[in-house]
Amino acid sequence: MTTQGSRLPKLEPAPGEPVTELPFYIAATGSAARPRRALKHGDCFAVFDSHGDIGAYAGGPDGLYYRDTRYLSRMELLLNGVQPLLLGSSVRDDNTVLSADLTNPDIYLGPRLLLPKDTLHIVRTLFLWRATAYQRFGIQNHGDRAIDIRLTLSFASDFADLFEVRGARRPRRGRASVTVRGPDRVVLEYRGLDGIERRTSLFFDPAPSALATDLATYSLTLAPGQRQSLYIAVRCGGDDEARPVPFIKGMHLSFHELKKAACEVASVETSNDIFNEMLCRSMADLRMLVTETPEGPYPYAGVPWYSTVFGRDGLITAMQLLWCDAALARGVLRWLAVHQAKELDPAADAEPGKILHEMRFGEMAALREVPFGMYYGSVDSTPLFVLLLGLYVDRTNDIDTLRELWPSAKAALAWIDGPGDPDQDGFVEYSRSSVQGLIHQGWKDSPDSIFHRDGQLARGPIALVEVQGYVYAAKRAAARCARRLGDVSLADRLDAEAHDLAIRFDSAFWSEDIGTYALALDGDKRQCRVRTSNAGQVLFTGIARPERARAVARDLLRPSSFSGWGIRTVARGEARYNPMSYHNGSVWPHDNALIAAGFARFGMMEEVARLFEGLFDAAGYMDLRRLPELFCGFQRGRGRGPTLYPVACSPQAWAAATPFALLQAALGLEFDSLGNEIRLRNPTLPAFLDQVTLRNLRLGGSSVDLALRRHGSDVSLQVLRNDDGITVSAIYS
């Protein structure tokens, strides 16, 4: 995710010089004593430790969160006052359930061994559904005699705003209270400074032996072999009287929702088991991150810090998945159209026609202690909205949705040509309207991410190189939409504007000094002559001249830019290069996927395969085969994996979508909804894939199944099923 969250100070401070803490900085104070596990459903997510506890150790992101507020900050299990031992824990493959197997340590009463270790087996099962965290303790005595055990569950809520959890300090907070509402129910409440009452309700079944405002105690006697189950449900908000649905019913309903959502999506199976695991993990992460809205499905950006709507992230994620799940793009477009800026609001960086950057629901956003309630400080979300609409219509020929969204697209185009280009030089640029807003408003939005060759920070208004490509592609896409709607004069005008932009772009952004496109133009129209991955993103938009595209690819695949795992955001040797930074030398999977799409666009399929192989190898070292938001840009070494970035979101939507985008780039998949044709242009398979099977690949109301096999450097295509005459072709050029 790219809001001003995970930021490092601008430069190494001089000895003795204090480091200034930046707004919205995500602190990294040390590693957790226990690994973390994340679950999400709708607007609710939770970060547990490997035992299933919350807050057993101070600090960190642990908690049960709902709409940017932590509704539960502590829930810790103890046996006779001591922590149980962990046998193992895992999240189910579809991300729905966390299971932890626990046992007792040796428990003494004075010098006497009261309970030998490994006598009790406790299976702790947790899942989320509809703003409620469900938990079951399955307890069994494996000893040869009856035992007495005291199980306690301590709980609390600080009702901290997400930005407080991330490190923000507040001089004042609202009022909290706790009430025991009977033998089996406790309610924790908080009235915020925004006047909103937030409530956490805990339901216990059966009722505990004793229940206090912060502790539930079960005094159990278990015969040899006896099992007993305890259930706890924690609801965020809502009615504190009505009981949640029972544990088993809630779990079945959760599974049913997930299964239903998967029905219309194309599936992929390959000859490589590790890549299959990678694809399954990515799809499971995406299904977890996708939230149903009144306008349709929307992929929230990432857990833990970005479990909300982000315009740029949703648009790019939908673009990456468009070939296999077009419905996601429709949901993203419709939601963003409804929330498109209608008025000027400098505090929110909002201007008419602009597409949202970020939406927050917490107390600090409501009070404007942070600017992100409805925040529009993104220079690229608006052209990306128009581009995705055009690509969606190309993919589906959904004219009804095009007509519905066309007024929003025209308003976005008006912003691009108007407020988005304040000096009317033909390039879209940004500068923040409020001191609280983001300094930089492209996808690299760290305060130190846009700079000159000598390391001097660029001053705005700033025109980013990739944004001009987005605008070019958006106008081409809008021209195709206008022709479908019969507005030929508008289509011709948009095509002419795109053509003119491409000519001016090459003159303004190409730098012979560095042999690639400059990162940006500053407020004085000076090039930021820095070798970055931004130049690679230019290629997928089509604005680059072919000879420039080949030069950019050569530069990006040199060791200074290509780490062996992926292309760095900033090339090694540049002034602010730091392989451990957020944006100045790290590797971002989604960035590489867009670059790979650009390579494919210009027929550079060997380069696509090289990127694909690097990221596949990286994922092989990652926990659960999951590509994180980013990882460090250190050079690949023999016998060791990539270095992780400490506070990267994992899972994260556009990182999860990356394997699917890379596969599309490698296969050269194209869809012609008017001609009812699926094309594979210069298909290639990387060395780790011998075969790929695509099933339920939809076009219009029909679908096909395809199999591709690698024969050395060649790829064969077989149509396994074609239910309604879709034309499938392989094109080599």
- 318 and 292, same domain (yes or no): yes
Mean pLDDT calculated for residue range 86-110: 93
- 210 and 190, same domain (yes or no): yes
Residue 103: HSE in the Cβ half-sphere, 13 Å Cα cutoff? 14
Q: Indicate the pairing of strand 727-731 with strand 677-681.
A: parallel
DSSP string, 251-266: HHHHHHHHHHHHTTS-
| Tens digits of residue pLDDT in 15-52 | 333 333 455 555 544 445 688 899 999 999 999 999 99
- The H or E element spanning position 383 is helix 381-396
Domain contains 18: no
- 418 and 382, same domain (yes or no): yes
DSSP string, 305-323: TB-S-BHHHHHHHHHHHTT
Q: What is the pLDDT of residue 26?
A: 55
Distance CA 1, CA 629 (A): 7
Q: What is the pLDDT of residue 12?
A: 34
| Tens digits of residue pLDDT in 360-412 | 999 999 999 988 889 999 999 999 999 999 999 999 999 999 999 999 999 99
The share of the chain scoring above pLDDT 90, in percent, equals: 86
Three-state secondary-structure class, residue 623? helix
- The H or E element spanning position 599 is helix 589-601
Q: What is the pLDDT of residue 301?
A: 95
Domain contains 21: no
Distance CA 224, CA 363 (A): 51
Whether the full predicted model's pTM is greater than 0.85, yes or no, is yes
Domain contains 586: yes
Task: Name the least confident of 240-249, 284-293, 327-336.
Answer: 240-249
Last residue of a domain, one of 641, 667, 693: 667
Distance CA 694, CA 722 (A): 12
Tokens of 733: 């050029």
Helices and strands (H, E) in the chain, number of each type: 16, 33
Instruction: Count other Cβ atoms within 10 Å, centred on residue 178.
Output: 16
- 403 and 496, same domain (yes or no): yes
pLDDT bracket for residue 9 (50, 70, 90): very low
Last residue of a domain, one of 667, 690, 712: 667
Task: Look up the CATH number of the domain holding residue 675.
Answer: 2.60.420.10
| Tens digits of residue pLDDT in 469-480 | 999 999 999 999
Residue 382 C-alpha from the chain's centroid:
19
Tokens of 651: 């899972």
Side chain identity, residue 134? Y
pLDDT of residue 6 exceeding 60, the answer is no
Domain contains 301: yes
Mean pLDDT calculated for residue range 415-424: 97
Mean pLDDT calculated for residue range 699-706: 93
CB 450 within 8 A of CB 457: yes
| Tens digits of residue pLDDT in 195-223 | 999 999 999 999 999 999 999 999 999 99
Instruction: Count other Cβ atoms within 10 Å, centred on residue 228.
Output: 15
Round the average pLDDT of the chain to a whole number and report it. Answer: 93
Tokens of 193: 């400074």
Task: Look up the CATH number of the domain holding residue 117.
Answer: 2.70.98.40
Q: Is the peptide bond before 244 cis (omega within 30 degrees of 0)?
A: no
Task: Look up the CATH number of the domain holding residue 504.
Answer: 1.50.10.10
Distance CA 41, CA 133 (A): 10
Q: What is the pLDDT of residue 178?
A: 97
Q: Is the peptide bond before 84 cis (omega within 30 degrees of 0)?
A: no
Q: What is the pLDDT of residue 16?
A: 36
- 621 and 680, same domain (yes or no): no
- 672 and 657, same domain (yes or no): no
- 414 and 455, same domain (yes or no): yes
Strand order in the sheet with 702-711: 267-270, 691-699, 702-711, 714-722
DSSP string, 473-484: HHHHHHHHHHHH
Domain contains 17: no
Distance CA 76, CA 138 (A): 16
- 270 and 357, same domain (yes or no): yes
**DSSP 8-class letter at 130:** T
- 689 and 582, same domain (yes or no): no
Tokens of 593: 């996927």
Q: What is the pLDDT of residue 27?
A: 52
Q: Is 712 exposed, middle or buried (0-12, 13-18, 19+ CB in 10 A)?
A: exposed
The share of the chain scoring above pLDDT 70, in percent, equals: 95
Q: Indicate the pairing of strand 175-180 with strand 185-191.
A: antiparallel
Tokens of 587: 């590797």
- 276 and 130, same domain (yes or no): no
Last residue of a domain, one of 621, 650, 667: 667
- 693 and 650, same domain (yes or no): no
- 124 and 231, same domain (yes or no): yes
Number of domains the chain is built from? 3
CB 629 within 8 A of CB 566: no
Domain contains 23: no
Q: Please, what's the largest Cα pairwise distance for the chain?
A: 91
Domain contains 13: no
Three-state secondary-structure class, residue 41? strand
Three-state secondary-structure class, residue 118? coil
- Segments forming the whole domain that contains residue 53: 36-257
Domain contains 392: yes
